[in-house]
Amino acid sequence: MLSLYLTLIDTDEDKIRFTKLYEQYRHLMFYIAKEILQDEHLSEDAVQEAFLRIAKNFHKVGEILCPETRNFTVIITRNVAINMVSRKHGDLDMDAYLDSASSELTEDVFETVSNKLLMECILKLPETYRDPLYLYHLYGYSFNEISNLLSVSVETAKKRAQRARHMLKVLLEKEGYHHE
C-alpha cells in the first residue's frame, strides 16, 4: 500500500520522508481508528484513507518526528474514522451536537497570550473544535484544505474554528486572561 501513496508524492526526498512518516505513525493511526470503529477491517480502511489524505497534502508536512506531525496524523485519522461511523449510521449528523456559539476571538489574542497557557486551553477543547483550530492557526491550512482533510464543508470548518475561538476565549478568561 505504501507504493500507492508514494505515487502521489513528487520528489525522491519527499518519498523518503513520507516512508518515514508511514513507518513512524501507522500503528498509532490504526490504534486511533480502532478505538473509534471497533473493527479491524474498517480501521485498516480508515488508516488507508488517512494516508491518502496526508499524501495529497504532504507538501505542508514539516519535520516527521515532531509533536505537530504526530497531532496532524491523529487528527486526520480520527476524522476519517468518525466520518465512517457517521456514514454507517446514516442519520448521525456530527454538527447536530455542536453549540451555536458565535463570538469571535480576535487574532491578536494568539500573539499576546503565553504559549503555555494557550496550549493548555486548546487541549481542553473538544476534539471537534480543536482540530480545525489546530489546522488553521498552528499548521496554516486554509479552510478549503481543512474541509478536504476533515471531510466537512468549508462552512462547517469555519464555524467549528469560530466556535473553538469562542470557547478558547472563555477558557482563557477563566484562567485569568482578559483581552481588551
Confidence of residue 133 (pLDDT cuts 50, 70, 90): confident
Q: Which three cell numbers stand for residue 13?
A: 526526498
Helices (H) and strands (E) in the chain, counts: 9, 0
Say which DSSP state 112 is in.
H
Would you say residue 66 has pLDDT above 80? yes
Would you say residue 92 has pLDDT above 60? no
pLDDT digits (tens, 9 = 90+) for 33-47: 998 898 999 999 999
Q: Which three cell numbers stand for residue 122?
A: 486548546
- At the top level of CATH, the class of 1-91 is mainly alpha
Q: How far apart are CA 69 and CA 63, in angstroms?
A: 7
Would you say residue 75 has pLDDT above 80? yes
Polymer length of the chain: 180
Would you say residue 110 has pLDDT above 60? no
Domain ranges across the chain: 1-91, 100-180
Q: Which three cell numbers stand for residue 89?
A: 449510521
User: pLDDT value at position 106?
Assistant: 35
User: pLDDT value at position 136?
Assistant: 84
User: pLDDT value at position 176?
Assistant: 74
20, 6 contact by CB (below 8 A): no
Q: How far apart are CA 45 and CA 24, in angstroms?
A: 18
Q: How far apart are CA 3 and CA 13, in angstroms?
A: 15
Q: What average pLDDT does range 57-80 have in this prediction?
A: 89
CATH architecture, range 100-180: Orthogonal Bundle (1.10)
pLDDT digits (tens, 9 = 90+) for 140-175: 788 998 888 888 899 999 999 999 988 988 888 887
pLDDT digits (tens, 9 = 90+) for 5-30: 888 898 999 999 999 999 999 999 99
User: pLDDT value at position 51?
Assistant: 95
| Prediction pTM value | 0.65
User: pLDDT value at position 82?
Assistant: 84
Confidence of residue 178 (pLDDT cuts 50, 70, 90): low
